[in-house]
Amino acid sequence: MPELPDVEAFRRRIAAHVPGQPVQRVTAPDADVVRNTSVQALGRALAGRTFGHPDRHGKWLFARTDGPTVVLHFGMTGYPTWAGHGSPRHRYDRVVFVCRDGELRLNLMRKLGGVWLAGDEEDIAAITGPLGPDAREVSRGRLGELLAGRRGGIKSALMNQKVMAGVRNEVADETLWHARLHPGRKVADLTGEDLDRLHAALDHVLERSIAHGRIPRDPGWLTHAREVEQATCARCGGDIVKGTVNSRPTYWCPACQPAP
DNA sequence: CGTGTTGTTCAGTT
DNA sequence: TAACTGAACAACAC
């Protein structure tokens, strides 16, 4: 379930191998994950082009070339790999960019993500739709601005890609636990101190998770609760509970994150 | 073969 | 009219 930290790890993986690689051809065993063009047109547009440095905004990845940009989204189950020409492809490698020294492969088990071809920044904006600033770039002041005037709950706002890009279910739960805020708290009811803690928690969760390549599953993290039958809060020792917020499975500590 | 999974989209509501 | 909510959808593992 890639969120911002996972996609940043993907970006670094691609950045380590792909820049400078000329594309020879593109094969797509599952053509339908190529979303806004045909496999043939994608191959024609990229053949002979050279990959540059990849960028990321939220959960979107942009594999630049000296021509068009390949836009990647990983849905819930996707990930990219770099592999030698001869190494066996995985069953769910849906699109393969065959380069000079290896292959960039997009594994999409559930086909929820996809590949788009973009000629310029305008194309990219049309593909991604409106996105708020990347969650990693949000300052304390900007967080206040982004949340100002919102009527709903804090978890809903954090997960809204138009508010900020990159946070989804697990990062939202983890951030709210670190900030000691109940996921159902109304944005309008949060104090300046609440927002201070929320910003510090978002920063902490994103930076530590990026360093780890994903949200750590260790006992000191709320996400650990998703691994075990019944987790206890690493801060207070109380039981972590599971419920549904915005029709998504949500974990929190009732003692540390009091209900609104 | 039914259930669980979760990012996104969309229909409907406030 | 923007913001909000919840249901539907995607495809597969188990």
- What are the DSSP calls for A69-124, one per residue? EEEEE-TTTEEEEEE-TTSPPPTTEEEEEEESS-EEEEEETT--SEEEEESSHHHH
Please tell me the predicted confidence (pLDDT) of residue A95: 92
Is the CB of A203 within 7 Å of strand B? no
Kindly report which amino acid residue has its CA closest to the C1' atom of nucleotide C5: A246
- For residue A258, indicate whether it is catalytic: no
Residue A59 among the catalytic residues:
yes
The rounded mean pLDDT for chain A is 92
Length of chain A: 260
pLDDT tens across A27-80, in order? 988 888 898 899 999 999 999 999 999 999 999 999 999 999 999 999 888 899
Say if residue A254's pLDDT is above 90.
Answer: yes
Mean pLDDT of A150-174: 92
Which listed residue (A89, A180, A214, A248) is catalytic?
A: A248
Told to judge if A22 belongs to the known catalytic residues of this protein, a careful annotator would answer no
Report the candidate in A182, A237, A17, A210 with the shortest Cα–Cα distance to residue A105: A17
Q: Report which of residues 17-36 in chain A place their beta carbon less than 7 angstroms from any atom of strand C.
A: 32
pLDDT at A1 over 80: no
Contact A105, A70 (CB under 8 A): no
The pLDDT assigned to A4 comes to 92
Asked if A4 contacts A136 with a C-beta cutoff of 8 angstroms, the reply is yes
Q: Is the CB of A186 under 7 A from strand C?
A: no
Q: What is the mean predicted confidence (pLDDT) over A238-253?
A: 89
